[in-house]
């Protein structure tokens, strides 16, 4: 009997590592031994904190029903150890990516496994879901030659999005984050906004911008901070007829939006962007497979594994989540390492 260790969220700020029996392999399935899995400091931390709505499968495109106890996660990289009778022998030993929760091993159909390109390391492959999100955000934003673009929030998704945007011929690319570690992580020449004093209290969820933005407006703004009140900054920083791409999932966090005054006459577009679907205007030419190809190529160029700041064993998971919850300023990407 083969067993696996798997992480469950059981209540706000409580986790358990459980041992469960693996099912027998069906003919089209493979057993994968996990090498690394990545924690999402955005979505996953809302689950850890209990800041998500209890929603059902019809409402949620990401992970089905969200309710405790919950095995949640979506960034596993591992090695195929065993294969079913109908699986081509070439699968044996492949390094693959799969959308799985944090677990020491798992069984899945080979149709749900993505072999890593030769140029992508297992650590870099942990960033594939967030890179796909960054590709989706960039496509929804559709930056235009010479535009001024701003990314609010430099967590992993914000960093990946800014890295993609840096490849465009923009007249200006600016980023902003509360934490110096994140602000400096990109390591490329971008401007930093200096007049966002309201940000120091954004976590309160009720603050509104208090600075003068008249000389620093943008054609395109990405709100990726995870703080709902940052939408007010995004709107205030956007030019007439500009676009605000809302990529954050706020869960149950709310804040008052200021949609009167200038906004009412501004024709600013507020665009919801979520990676589970392709924008309708692109769906005739794009599908998930094409978008994954673009994400893999971007991983080879950007090499986001440089943003891994902490590695934990699965048994030490409580420390990992405590770090991200209590000291987010000290971490970028945190991963679980199953190799030792």
Evaluate whether residue 285 is within a structural domain.
Answer: no
Rounded CA-CA distance 68/12 in Å is 9
Evaluate whether residue 325 is within a structural domain.
Answer: yes
Counted domains in the chain = 2
- What the block records as the tokens of 207 is 């603050």
Question: CATH number, domain at 142?
Answer: 3.40.50.720
pLDDT of residue 58: 41
Domain termination residue (choose one: 272, 288, 318): 272
pLDDT of residue 185: 93
Q: Mean pLDDT per 10-residue run, the chain (340 residues)?
A: 93 97 95 98 92 56 67 96 97 98 98 97 98 98 96 96 96 92 84 51 40 68 93 93 93 85 90 93 95 98 97 98 97 96
Evaluate whether residue 144 is within a structural domain.
Answer: yes
Q: CB under 8 Å to 169, separation ≥6 — which residues?
A: 145, 146
Question: CATH number, domain at 322?
Answer: 3.90.180.10
Residues 150 and 265 in one domain: yes
Residues 37 and 139 in one domain: no
Rounded CA-CA distance 134/156 in Å is 9
Residues 139 and 257 in one domain: yes
Residues 171 and 265 in one domain: yes
Residues 11 and 73 in one domain: yes
Q: What single string gives the DSSP state of each residue in 189-234?
A: --EE----GGGGGGGGS-----S--TT--EEEEEE-SS-TTHHHHH
Residues 218 and 249 in one domain: yes
In the chain, the largest separation of any two C-alpha atoms, in whole Å, equals 66
Domain termination residue (choose one: 254, 272, 290): 272
Evaluate whether residue 122 is within a structural domain.
Answer: no
pLDDT in tens, 107-164: 999 999 999 999 999 999 999 999 999 999 999 999 999 999 999 999 999 999 999 9
Evaluate whether residue 278 is within a structural domain.
Answer: no
Residues 194 and 253 in one domain: yes
Structural domain span for residue 196: 130-272
Rounded CA-CA distance 24/2 in Å is 9
Residues 12 and 40 in one domain: yes
Residues 147 and 21 in one domain: no
Evaluate whether residue 283 is within a structural domain.
Answer: no
Beta bridge partners of 80: 32
Residues 160 and 219 in one domain: yes
- What the block records as the tokens of 319 is 């420390």
Residues 323 and 248 in one domain: no
Domain termination residue (choose one: 221, 256, 272): 272
Evaluate whether residue 294 is within a structural domain.
Answer: no
Residues 142 and 246 in one domain: yes
Evaluate whether residue 226 is within a structural domain.
Answer: yes
Beta bridge partners of 31: 82, 107
The answer to whether 128 and 114 are in contact (CB under 8 A) is: yes
Rounded CA-CA distance 137/279 in Å is 10
CB-hemisphere CA count at 13 Å for 17? 14
* Residue 170 host element (H or E): none
pLDDT of residue 191: 66
């Amino acid at each position: 009997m083969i067993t696996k260790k798997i992480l469950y969220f059981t209540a706000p700020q409580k986790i358990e590592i459980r041992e469960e029996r693996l099912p027998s392999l069906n003919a089209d399935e493979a057993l994968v031994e996990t090498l690394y899995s990545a924690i999402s400091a955005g979505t996953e931390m809302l689950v850890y904190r209990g800041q998500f709505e209890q929603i059902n499968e019809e409402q949620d495109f990401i992970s089905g029903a969200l309710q405790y106890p919950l095995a949640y996660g979506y960034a596993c990289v591992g090695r195929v150890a065993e294969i079913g009778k109908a699986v081509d022998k070439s699968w044996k030993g492949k390094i693959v990516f799969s959308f799985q929760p944090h677990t020491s091993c798992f069984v899945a159909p080979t149709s749900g496994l993505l072999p890593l390109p030769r140029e992508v390391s297992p650590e870099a492959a942990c960033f594939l879901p967030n890179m796909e999100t960054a590709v989706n955000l960039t496509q929804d934003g559709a930056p235009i030659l010479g535009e001024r673009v701003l990314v609010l929030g430099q967590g992993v998704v914000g960093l990946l999005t800014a890295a993609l945007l840096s490849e465009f011929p923009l007249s200006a690319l600016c980023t902003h984050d509360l934490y110096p570690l994140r602000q400096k992580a990109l390591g490329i020449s971008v401007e930093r906004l200096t007049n966002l004093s309201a940000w120091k209290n954004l976590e309160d969820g009720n603050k509104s911008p208090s600075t003068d933005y008249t000389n620093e407006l943008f054609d395109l703004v990405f709100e990726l901070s995870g703080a709902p009140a940052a939408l007010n900054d995004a709107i205030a920083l956007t030019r007439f007829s500009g676009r605000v791409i809302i990529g954050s999932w706020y869960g149950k966090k709310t804040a008052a939006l200021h949609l009167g005054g200038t906004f009412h006459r501004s024709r600013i577009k507020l665009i919801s962007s979520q990676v589970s679907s392709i924008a309708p205007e692109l769906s005739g030419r794009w599908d998930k497979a094409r978008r994954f190809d673009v994400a893999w190529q971007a991983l080879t160029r950007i090499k986001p594994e440089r943003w891994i700041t902490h590695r934990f064993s699965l048994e030490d998971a409580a420390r990992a989540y405590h770090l991200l919850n209590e000291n987010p300023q000290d971490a970028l990407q945190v991963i679980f390492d199953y190799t030792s």
